[in-house]
Amino acid sequence: MSAVYINSASCISVQDTLNEDFFQHLTPENSSQVIKAIEPNYKEFIPAAMIRRMSKTVKMSSVASHYALKEAGIQQPDAIIVGTGMGCSQDSEKFLKNVIDNQEEFLTPTFFIQSTHNTVAGQIALGLQCHAYNFTYVNSSSSLEFSFLDAKLQINDGEAENILVGSTDEQTERTMELYRLNNTIKKSEDIPFDYLNSTTDGVIWGEGSSFFVVGKEKTENSYAQLKDIQLRNTLELDETQNFIGDFLAENNLTGNDIDAVILGFSGDAKSDVYYAKAMDLFPNSALLYYKHLSGEFNTASGFSTFMACHILKDQQIPEVMRINSVKKDGIKNVLLYNHLSGHDHSLVLLERA
């Protein structure tokens, strides 16, 4: 199989990740139940008349994809693939509210049309006038990983050379209320807390949009080589180490070959045990975490992939991400492990380009 490279990376998140020096200004958050993304000035990228009709996730994705394509020097990608867990939740809620308020009569179709999960990929294609392959994956916390896998297969099969791959999720008021009621979001009395040693269930919920250009050829801007991806819907706790060990073995690696491991510790005591189990495999690796910077959400792995790309390219690790004190002379292999509430486990292996 031919090599596949990540040639650009862009992210809108709770951190100011659109700024070039964001590495020096990463700020942990553990005192709010919900944290919102830092949004750019959309008027610089999107016509004012269109902004009013776009939900937050579409606006974030439009800007993040713009930056990703610009950095890669690509005007027309050969495919657009987007992963999202919740899709355009704001418009979904608006449509359902209209149904109730109007007693199912005299409904305008706009919110319904814009509420579908593939709206994001469609709007990006419309903006670019791109008629190429356009697909959306909705697979909870592994939505981005399925998107990467699709892109990797297309490039290996010779069907595309440069593909825009992204992930996005937004917050909505009603959904956040429901998440508080079912204890998905951590109770206010349990905040603040230690992400790595939490004794309570629930998470701090975030949002964001991350986009990458995946290409067949290595360029001067290449961040990483996308080596391999492994996905598992359900996993018993005692299967965790075999799941990871087998994945490394398939790539002719051992735990000692991994320079940095990025784990999705979310502060949810019930599901973080998987990450604790995984750490035992990497006594000589730099162990990192990131959801204290991004919050938990369906496609939070987009933020970790973005961070991994910069770690590989810049050859430095932000101190705020460190779990242990292991430091390497050089960073070649980075492993990303993520899941959401103990389901949809994903492994992504990146190698320095």
Residue 76 — pLDDT band, cuts 50, 70, 90?
A: very high
117 pLDDT more than 90 = no
Task: Give the pLDDT of residue 90.
Answer: 73
Residue 160 has φ and ψ, to the nearest 5°, of -155, 160
Task: Give the pLDDT of residue 102.
Answer: 78
Residue 280 — pLDDT band, cuts 50, 70, 90?
A: very high
Q: Distance between CA 309 and CA 288 in Å, rounded? A: 14
Q: Is the peptide bond before 192 cis (omega within 30 degrees of 0)?
A: yes
118-150 tens-digit pLDDT? 889 999 999 999 999 999 999 999 999 999 999
Q: What percent of the chain has pLDDT over 90?
A: 82
Residue 161 — pLDDT band, cuts 50, 70, 90?
A: very high
pTM of the complete model:
0.94
CB distance 203 to 52 below 8 Å: no
Higher pLDDT: 243 or 97? It is 243
Average pLDDT score, the chain: 93
CB distance 289 to 264 below 8 Å: yes
223: number of Cβ within 10 Å: 26
Task: Give the pLDDT of residue 115.
Answer: 67
295-349 tens-digit pLDDT? 999 999 999 999 999 999 999 999 999 999 999 989 999 999 999 999 999 999 9
Query: End-to-end alpha-carbon separation of the chain, Å?
Result: 16
Compute the half-sphere exposure of residue 344: CA atoms within 13 Å on the CB side of its CA: 19
All structural domains of the chain, each given as residue ranges with its CATH number in brackets, are 5-215 (3.40.47.10), 224-352 (3.40.47.10)
